[in-house]
Amino acid sequence: MITGGEELGKPTMIHGMQNVMKLPIEHKSKWNVIAYAINKDIIDENGNVDPLRAMIAPIGSYSDENKAIEKAKQVIEMTGHGAVKIIKYGIFAEITTTPDPELISTVTVDMHGKILKMENDEFNKQKELYNKNILYEKEIMEECELECDINHIEHYKRAAYLVTKHYMTYLELQKESEKMYKNYELRKKVLIEHLQRHPEHEAEFLPYFKEKLEQRGENELYLRIENAYNKYKSIFLQ
């Protein structure tokens, strides 16, 4: 099974398209399986636009969609080429740089050096990313050690980062707290105005509410509201 062109984090390069082109021809009908390769380097080193956008190779057609899916997965396993797509007859289908996750992903390969360049570019990008990740991990480990040295700039960098982060969080929470308090004051006004019209509702409220929530199986919610209301109602109603 192809796992996306990587093994233990290390990039690999599979010449899958060459294998795809050697597959036996199959003739069926409605559901078509194609292999494709996308040119990710449209602009060359001289700034010219390459007219080649992608290449496709039809590799089978079937009357049953499940058979087409099975064929696509089989091709990926046999060739190592994950850029495989199922297209229904007469239906336009998108060809993107992201392979179908249900059919698995991988790379592109050779066609008189053209598709090979696409794959080499992808391989080099993966290799560069892998090397950067290794370097970053090493740097982070060194930084963690130096952060404990009170005489090193890493120690100050960590303290400056945290004080900035915590202060920004404080400001955000303060703003949210002010917003919630304004909402509270508005609702408190509505509550008092209601009690001025119907003072009897204050004593009737909790039994009425309890019956409704217990019918819905929300006893725990009711208990929380009951406890909080009784605890703070002297503030709400003043």
Coil, helix or strand for 190? helix
Going along 26-96, which residue ranges are E strands? Answer: 31-38, 54-62, 84-88
C-alpha distances in Å from residue 219, one per residue of 76, 165, 222, 231, 232? 55, 39, 5, 18, 20
Report yes or no: 134 and 39 within 8 Å, Cβ to Cβ.
no
Instruction: Tell me the pLDDT tens digit for each residue of 3-57.
Output: 344 343 444 444 565 666 566 655 556 888 888 887 776 666 666 666 777 788 8
Distance CA 72, CA 104 (A): 10
Instruction: Tell me the pLDDT tens digit for each residue of 55-93.
Output: 888 888 888 888 888 888 888 777 777 778 888 877 777
> How many percent of the chain have pLDDT more than 70?
70
Q: Supply the mean pLDDT for the chain.
A: 77
Q: Which residue has the higher pLDDT, 212 or 131?
A: 212
Average pLDDT over residues 218-234: 92
Coil, helix or strand for 157? helix
In 3D space, the residue among 101, 104, 65 whose CA is nearest the CA of residue 86 turns out to be 65
**pLDDT exceeds 90 at position 142:** no
> How many percent of the chain have pLDDT more than 90?
30
Distance CA 218, CA 141 (A): 49
Residue 200: pLDDT band by 50, 70, 90 thresholds? Answer: very high
Q: Which residue has the higher pLDDT, 115 or 200?
A: 200
Average pLDDT over residues 172-191: 94
Report yes or no: 105 and 4 within 8 Å, Cβ to Cβ.
yes
pTM strictly above 0.85: no
